Structure 1
Amino acid sequence: MTGPRPRRRALIAVALASVTMLGAAGMLWWVSTEGDRRLDRQVTEALDRYELAYRHNGVRATPTPPPWNPYDPPSGAPSVEKASVHRDDTTLTVDFIGGPVGEGPCGMTYGARAVESEHSVLVVVEGHANQAGAACTSEGYPRRATVRLARPLDGRAVLEAMQGMPVPVTPTE
C-alpha cells in the first residue's frame, strides 16, 4: 500500500501551501487596508459629529473637533482649506496643501472623493507618490482637486477630513 501515500502527501503539501498563501494574502490585505479602515472610521465620526451639531444649531453648525490623541493622530489625508462650487452645484474644486507637481520621484498626484450626508459633504483627498520611499523635502505646495457629488450641494456644508470641520465655500465665476 505504498502507492496512495506519496499522492496523499503531495495533496497535503498542496493544501498546506494553499493555506499558507491564503494566510499571507490575508496579512497583506490587513496591512494594506488598516489605514483605509482608519480613515473610513474617521470620516464616519466626522459626519456624525456634524449631523449632531446640525440638529442643535441648524445651518450655523460647528461640530466639536475630536479630542487630540498624540498616540492616535488623525489620518494623514491632506486637509481641505477651502472649496468652490461650480455652476452645476454638483462639482466641487477643493484647495489643499500637498506635495509637488511633477514626474520626478517626489512628485505627487491627487484624487478626491466625496462622502455625503443629509447636511454635509466631507471631501477626502488622497495622494499617490510617484516613487514610494523617495527622500523628499516636506515643503507644502498649493494644490487642487475636483470631485463630483451624487446630488447638488444645495447649501450643505463642506467638511475637511482631518477633524471634520467646515471650510469656506465660494461659487466659481
Structure 2
Amino acid sequence: MKTEETLLQYEPMISSMLRLLHIRRDHENFRQAARLALWTALGKYDPSRGHFAPFAHRTIRGAMLDELKKESRYGESFTAVEGETLERLAGWADAPGAEHGDPRMDALRLAVSGLDEAERLFLHRLFELRLSQAEIARLEGISVSGVKKRRERLLRKLRNRMTGCEDHWA
C-alpha cells in the first residue's frame, strides 16, 4: 500500500475519530498525531494477524487518546494567566499600572472587593501563589475539572462586573 493512498483512504476514519472522542480544538495537532500513527501502523502491520483496518483504527485511536492525556496533564500542571491585569488581582501594589486613578484598575479592585472570602482565596492560590490546578484541586477537595470550571466562572464573573453587567452583582 502506498502511503498517500492509505492516508486518503483513512482520512474519513480520522475525522470520525475526532468527533467520537469529542475533540473540538487543535484539530490539526490531533490529525497529525493520527497520521503519524497510521504511518506507524503501516510499518508494524502483520497481514497474518488480520485485516489492516481494525489494526489502523486501534492504533489511530490510541495515538489520539495519548494526545488527549498529554494535553490533560499539561492543563493540570499549568494555569494560564490572562495578562498582567489578572496578576494585579493578587494585590501587588507595585505592579505596573497599578496606581490609583487607572479606571481599569479601579474597576478590577471594585470587582474583586465584591467577591466572597472563598473566591478571593481561590484567586490568591491561582494567581499570587501560582499553584497548579492539581494542587488547588487537592487543597479544595475537588477534581481538576472542578478547578477549571470554578476558574472560568470566577473570571467570567469578574469580567462581567468590570464591564458593568449589573445582573451579575451578587
Q: TM-score, normalised by structure 1?
A: 0.29
Specify which structure has the bigger relative contact order, considering alpha-carbon pairs within 8 angstroms and separated by 6 or more residues.
1
Q: TM-score, normalised by structure 2?
A: 0.30
Pick the structure with more helix per residue: 2
Pick the structure with more strand per residue: 1
